[in-house]
């Protein structure tokens, strides 16, 4: 996620320069032919092109809205994950009738919270297609992390493991049916959050929404110099390039945010959020491990 006030233009340049350079060459050719060779038939009436511009604006706004909708939904889901993780940890620490002198009871209670920490990290890795095991070894220990290797969907396996721990707590008489039901509800919420994140990850924006605006932007940019050249003459490339850059930049920016789990600067800041969740949950466990917060680097936070 980008936190800095201004986005440097060189960030847009790699994605836009090929289209812009081609258009600039065309603009210069049109202006040169019109001014120096008197090819006045090149000039179009600006009115129909203006109408096309209005239609294009609707398409672009629609596409930008759809992309932003995905990005914002992803952020909301991770906000919900923060809340649910805290709620589950609180429930585990207060709803279980644990005998503080019984090591098995206390291990069961803290195990639920640590599995929740592992779930958050595993979900982040799952969405970014990253290997979670070196991290899980640090959170859960070697044996417990290795036991997860057989699973394809690690976060789901971790929710199952917490559910099994709750079942064990119920068998030990640490929890009644009513409280078990509340805790299981939190696990269902976690499963829903994971499912929604996977939906965003695995379902791209409909290709028509990407292709049509892009094609229309290109067509419009090729027509602009023809509409401007009779009025601006040799200065046509300047105005045309500026208009083209604006439209291409909007198109590119919405492309960049449509996939919020791709390990780029436009991502939902999952690393920072998962570290925040871990710090809070460890505080609740009274395990103040010396982990620093994840801060923005040069205005970018991951």
Partner 1 sequence: MLPMSCTPNPHLIFATNFSEACHAAIPMVANWVDSLQARLTLLHVHPRGNGVQAARALDSFFAESAHYPNSERQLLSGPAATGIAEFCRQHPQAMLVMPPSVRSYLPRPLHVSLRTEVLRTAATPMLTMLPDTRAIATQATAGGHVACWITGEESHLEHVREAAALAQQRGAELHLLFVLPEVSEGLMIEALYSNRPLAEPAAIRMLDDIAARIGNGVRVRVHLGTGSARPTLARLLRDSRANVLVVDRDTTVRKQLLRHSFASALRDSPCLLVSVPSGNAAERDRLPPPNARKPLDRLAAPVASLHRQRFATKSLGAWLALDGTGNGWRSPLPA
What is the contact surface with partner 1 in residues (CB under 8 A)? 10, 13-14, 17, 121, 125, 128-131, 133-139, 142, 262-265, 271-272, 275, 291-298, 300-302
Rounded to the nearest 10 degrees, how much is the dihedral formed by the CA atoms of 271, 4, 295, 65? -20
Count Cβ atoms below 10 Å from residue 83 Cβ, excluding itself: 12
Nearer to partner 1, 97 or 298 (CB): 298
Tell the smallest beta-carbon distance from residue 23 to partner 1 (Å): 16
CA distance linking residue 221 with residue 232, whole number of Å: 16
Tell the smallest beta-carbon distance from residue 302 to partner 1 (Å): 6
Tell the smallest beta-carbon distance from residue 121 to partner 1 (Å): 7
182 Cβ neighbours under 8 A, 6+ residues apart: 91, 95
Nearer to partner 1, 161 or 179 (CB): 161
Contact present, 286 and 106 (Cβ < 8 Å): no
Tell the smallest beta-carbon distance from residue 287 to partner 1 (Å): 13
Tell the smallest beta-carbon distance from residue 16 to partner 1 (Å): 9
CA distance linking residue 19 with residue 250, whole number of Å: 14
Nearer to partner 1, 34 or 71 (CB): 71
Nearer to partner 1, 62 or 133 (CB): 133
Count Cβ atoms below 10 Å from residue 249 Cβ, excluding itself: 16
Nearer to partner 1, 136 or 183 (CB): 136
């Amino acid at each position: 996620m980008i936190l800095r006030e201004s986005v440097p233009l060189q960030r847009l340049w790699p994605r836009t320069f090929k289209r812009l350079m081609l258009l600039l060459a065309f603009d210069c050719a049109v202006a040169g032919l019109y001014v120096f060779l008197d090819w006045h038939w090149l000039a179009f009436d600006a009115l129909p092109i203006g109408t096309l511009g209005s239609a294009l604006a609707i398409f672009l706004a629609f596409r930008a809205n759809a992309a932003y909708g995905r990005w914002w939904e992803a952020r909301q889901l991770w906000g919900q994950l923060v809340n649910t993780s805290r709620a589950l940890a609180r429930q585990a620490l207060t709803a279980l009738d644990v005998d503080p002198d019984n090591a098995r009871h206390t291990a069961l209670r803290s195990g639920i919270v640590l599995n929740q920490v592992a779930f958050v990290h595993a979900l982040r890795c799952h969405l970014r297609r990253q290997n979670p095991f070196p991290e899980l070894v640090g959170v859960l220990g070697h044996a417990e992390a290795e036991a997860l290797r057989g699973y394809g969907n690690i976060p789901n396996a971790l929710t199952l493991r917490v559910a099994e721990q709750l079942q064990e707590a119920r068998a030990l008489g640490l929890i009644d049916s009513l409280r078990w039901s509340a805790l299981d509800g939190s696990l269902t919420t976690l499963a829903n959050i994971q499912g929604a994140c996977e939906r965003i990850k695995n379902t791209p924006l409909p290709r028509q929404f990407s292709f049509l605006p892009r094609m229309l932007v290109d067509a419009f940019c090729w027509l602009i110099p023809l509409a401007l050249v009779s009025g601006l003459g040799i200065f046509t490339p300047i105005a045309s390039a500026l208009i083209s850059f604006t439209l291409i930049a909007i198109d590119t920016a919405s492309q960049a945010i449509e996939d919020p789990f791709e390990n780029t600067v436009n991502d939902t800041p999952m690393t920072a959020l998962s570290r925040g969740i871990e710090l809070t949950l460890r505080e609740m466990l009274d395990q103040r491990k010396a982990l620093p917060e994840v801060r923005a680097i040069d205005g970018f936070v991951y």
